[in-house]
Structure formats: C-alpha cells, structure tokens
Amino acid sequence: MTEIGNDVVLIKETASGVFLVTINRPDRRNALNFEIKTRLAEILETLDHDPAVRVIVLTGANKCFVAGTDLGEMASMTPTDHTILVTDRVFTVMRRCSKPLIAAVEGFALGGGCELALACDMIVAGEGAKFALPEVRVGVMPGAGGTQRLLRTIGKYLTMRMVLTGEHIGAREAFSMGFLSLVTSDGSALRGALDLADKIVAMPPLAIKAIKEVMQIGGDASLETALLLERKAFQVLFDSQDQSEGMRAFMEKRTPEFSGH
C-alpha cells in the first residue's frame, strides 16, 4: 500500500505483515516534538491492535533517525506540563507493544532518539550512525527510559560513561557493547531491518508473541520467576496448530505453513 499518515509520521506496508513507520521532519533532523510523539503513539497503538501487522520497522527520513528532542519546545515546559501532556506516552506504548519493533538507524540517534531506538526490540544501524544520551550537557538527564533501558542492555559501567559524559558512540563501538543487533554499510540499515522483519514474518505468530512477552517480563523478574514463565509459555505452545505443523514439516523435510493458531 502507499504511504499514509500525516506529514510528520508516515506508514507504509512493505511486505505482507511488515509495516514501516517513518518519522518525517527532515528539516529538523527528525527532532521529536509533542506532535510527533503523540502521532507516533497513536500509530503504534493502532498497528499493535491490527492482526494483519506482524512486525513494525521504525526509521527516520533523510538518512537521520532522530537527532534528539526539540529543545526549543521543551525549554519552556514545566513539570506540570510534562505530567498533563504525558510526554512519555509513546515509550509506554512501545513497551506494551506485542509486535516486534525494529529500529533502522542512519545518522544520529541522540537523546530522545537514542531512547526511541532503545525502546525497540532490535536495532539495525548503518556503520556511520552515532548514538548518545547528551541530556547532561543541557542540565538535565534522560527521562524516557535512557538510563534504565541502557543499564539493562550494556551494564552499569558503560551506561555511566555514556550518560555522565554525553559523548557520541559510533555504530561499531555500540555493537561491541551489545547495544545493536546488526551493523550494515551506510545507507543499508533500512534494508537490513526489513530483511530481519521478513525472517520474523516467516516464523509462527504465536511463538513470536510468546518469546517477546517472556523476554519483556522476564528481564525485570527474578531468574526463578523468569524460568517458570518461560517453561509455562513453552508448554502452552504445544497446544497450537503451528507447533504440530512445524514439527511435522521438520520431520517431513518440507517448509512449514504457519497459520497463527
């Protein structure tokens, strides 16, 4: 289908079940303002509830992911404004999304843009991409999951280095930290993300949903609780038609045809 949405956030179905969401504010390097965050939350929530959607790929227009939050808008905001406007709603929607989210990053993913990428399940980046949480340089700190998601991804010491200095980290170094899923040549991050999405779409939907749910919840649970959750989800999948089809196809040496049941 053709791209739809308003001019700041575009949606396009690129393959069966794969939807591309593009932040489109290239004149400001896709800096996040309240309009973009509100529209992005609405779109992601709609896609999450659409059974035709299997995987969501998030990117930025004009070879830049998101260069940060719009400081011109944020500078005049009060604590009450943040509370009333629920300026972090998009991150809550992403955390609760049952569909796999893949960030395709070229150029800058700074501040809120870095947090947006961190809220995805996988990050694919061009080798020239730069990541940073530079909020400390303007007298504040990450406020949309940056400290907590990064801490859970790369550990305390590397996270402290990034958030206390605000320095930029290149894609190759970010990958070595365990920050990224894949590094591509410049200009190929979107293609890499879409290729990953196509591979996921070929897998059984119920298993994909269960895997994401177990990893999301298990990451914040005790090991004992997480292992129990994993085991229960594993057992439940044995009631699915896709489990029967997958194992039968393997033994018959043919490609399985998954139905999502």
Residues 167 and 127 in one domain: yes
- In a shared domain, residues 219 and 183: no
Q: Tell whether 184 and 211 lie within a shared domain.
A: no
- Whether residues 128 and 189 share a domain: the answer is yes
Active-site amino acid positions: 115, 135
- Which domain, by its residues, includes 135? 9-201
Q: Which CATH number does the domain housing residue 235 bear?
A: 1.10.12.10
Task: Choose the final residue of a domain: 180, 201, 222.
Answer: 201
Give the CATH number, domain containing residue 48.
3.90.226.10
pLDDT at 203 over 80: yes
For the beta sheet containing 169-170, the strands, ordered from the edge strand earlier in sequence to the opposite edge, are 108-110, 130-132, 169-170
Same-domain status, 150 and 227: no
Mean pLDDT value of segment 243-256: 94
pLDDT tens digit sequence for 140-189: 999 999 999 999 999 999 999 999 999 999 999 999 999 999 999 999 99
Can you say how many angstroms the Cα of residue 114 is from the centroid of all Cα atoms in its chain?
Answer: 10
- State the pTM of this model: 0.93
What is the chain's percent helix, strand, coil content, to nearest 5? 50, 15, 35
